[in-house]
Amino acid sequence: MEFFKYQGTGNDFVMIDNRSLGWKPVSVEQVRQICDRRFGIGADGLILLEELEGYDFKMVYYNSDGRESSMCGNGGRCISRFVNDLGPRKPEYLFKAIDGDHRARVNEQEVSIQMKNVEGISTLENGLFVDTGSPHHIVMENGVEQLSLVEMARVIRYSEHYRKEGVNVNFVETEGEGKIFMRTYERGVEDETLSCGTGVTAAALSAYQQGRVNTTTVHVRTRGGNLKVSFVPGREGFEDIWLTGPAESVFKGTISL
């Protein structure tokens, strides 16, 4: 079967054009094998491009642990680039993901997708919680680059509060006016990833809500590159949220399944 490899700020994905194939993974283990960096292609996740009436396409996303997962922001940007590369090209796409409808805009430099509206941010004893299509725990911290992130994040990810569904854990610090730096531990990958689109969105909104930035466009630096989040604050949440950054093709090939 033919596959394509895409990455967005270091978040990498195996893409399969499933519109005429109708292929489904036969098991969790099969997805794990495809995403394995030693015995498979290697990726943070597997994405199937599918057809859906009334939409330009449907996105089906599996984490590298083999399970179909919640929304992936960088994956949404990468599949939008994939669709644009396959053609025909359009100024704007409408697609369906597990958390609902999204719009996407693609140009040569970057891809923007509209994220779901966020109703509010919850304050917890040890951080903030926000759902941006995937659940995120945000910790505002100093010296984020030097943190033992995996060790610290796993304490939160496997805590009693999140035991049932799990959570992505993000450590965030302000770097200047309208700028933050973020590191992410992703559930399903169960490790640090170089970038996380829903996490970047959650971090930007949380930083604004906490008064750590006061601009409605927040520039977010991750270990994999730079992203931008723009939004409209509402009375109790945020609307018209757009995640923007680079997304590109890496290579294509065939794999025996």
We report the CATH number of the domain holding residue 30 as: 3.10.310.10
Structural domain containing residue 231: 122-245
The structure's pTM equals: 0.96
For the chain, the average pLDDT equals 96
Please indicate, yes or no, whether residues 147 and 71 belong to a single structural domain of this protein: no
Q: Is the pLDDT of residue 164 over 90?
A: no
Q: Are 64 and 45 in contact (CB under 8 A)?
A: yes
Q: How confident is the model at residue 235 (pLDDT cuts 50, 70, 90)?
A: confident
Please indicate, yes or no, whether residues 97 and 153 belong to a single structural domain of this protein: no
DSSP calls for 81-135 = HHHHHHS---S-EEEEETTEEEEEEE-SS-EEEEPPPB---EEETTEEEEESSSE
- The pLDDT of residue 244: 98
Please indicate, yes or no, whether residues 187 and 98 belong to a single structural domain of this protein: no
Please indicate, yes or no, whether residues 34 and 107 belong to a single structural domain of this protein: yes
Please indicate, yes or no, whether residues 41 and 134 belong to a single structural domain of this protein: no
Please indicate, yes or no, whether residues 104 and 132 belong to a single structural domain of this protein: no
pLDDT tens-digit map of 18-66? 999 999 999 999 999 999 999 999 999 999 999 999 999 999 999 999 9
Number of structural domains in the chain: 2
Q: How confident is the model at residue 254 (pLDDT cuts 50, 70, 90)?
A: very high
Please indicate, yes or no, whether residues 176 and 210 belong to a single structural domain of this protein: yes
In Å, how far are 54, 186, 211, 237 from 132, measured between CA atoms?
24, 14, 19, 11
| Residue type present at position 49 | L
- Among 46, 72, 167, 200, the one annotated catalytic: 72
Please indicate, yes or no, whether residues 104 and 162 belong to a single structural domain of this protein: no
Catalytic residue check, 196:
yes
Please indicate, yes or no, whether residues 104 and 129 belong to a single structural domain of this protein: no
Please indicate, yes or no, whether residues 94 and 67 belong to a single structural domain of this protein: yes
Please indicate, yes or no, whether residues 48 and 128 belong to a single structural domain of this protein: no
Please give the DSSP secondary-structure letter assigned to residue 56. S
- Among 196, 203, 205, 213, the one annotated catalytic: 196
Q: Are 160 and 125 in contact (CB under 8 A)?
A: no
Q: How confident is the model at residue 236 (pLDDT cuts 50, 70, 90)?
A: confident
Please indicate, yes or no, whether residues 136 and 55 belong to a single structural domain of this protein: no
